[in-house]
Amino acid sequence: MKNENFLRVDGIVHSKPIQSGTSKKGMPYAIPTLVIELEDSYTDKDGKYHQKTSLVEFKLGKNAGASLDNFDVGQAVTVNFKLGGRQYNGKIFNEPMCWKIEYADIDSKGSNHQGNVPVTPKPSIPPAPQPVDDDGMDDLPF
C-alpha cells in the first residue's frame, strides 16, 4: 500500500491530552490526542529573520493511540498523519489524524538532523567583495 496521501512532520511532544465527553446518544467517549511543538523560521521581505513555535494537535487513530504511552513530553517524534476535515454550521474544521508515531532524530530546539522536514538556516552575512587587482582593473567584462 502506498502512503502518497499521508504527510509527515517532526516535532517535540508538548502534551498528551485526552478529549472526553458524552455523545448525543449518552455514551461516554475518550479520544487520545497528541500536541507537538513545531519550530518555524522565515526571512521577511526586509531581510529580517523570524522564528516562532507553533503547537499542532493530532487526533490519534486506533493503532497510534496505543503507542502514545511509549513517548514522553519533551521527546522528539516524527508524526505520520493524514488531513481530514468536516463542515459544521457553515464552517470548515480541519482534523489532522495521526496514524503512526516514531522516534525522531531531532534536538530539543526543533532542529532536524534527519532531513525529513526542511529547516531554514539563519541568514548569513554575505561574503565581502574581493579586492581589486593592483592595476585597478577587475575581472569583470563590463
State the Cα–Cα distance between residues 78 and 36, nearest whole angstrom. Answer: 10
Predicted pLDDT at 118: 37
Residue 99 CA to residue 97 CA, distance in Å, equals 6
| pLDDT score at 114 | 40
What kind of architecture, by CATH, is found in domain 7-103? Beta Barrel (2.40)
CB 112 within 8 A of CB 121: no
**Burial class (CB within 10 angstroms; exposed 0-12, middle 13-18, buried 19+) of 61:** middle
Residue with cell 500500500: 1
Query: Over the chain, what HEC string results?
Result: CCCCCCEEEEEEEEECCEEEEECCCCCEEEEEEEEEEEEEEEECCCCCEEEEEEEEEEEECHHHHHHHHHCCCCCEEEEEEEEEEEEECCEEEEEEEEEEEEECCECCCCCECCCCCCCCCCCCCCCCCCCCCCCCCCCCCC
pLDDT at 116: 38
Q: Which residues does the chain have with pLDDT short of 70?
A: 1-4, 63-66, 106-142
Tell me what pLDDT residue 119 has. 37
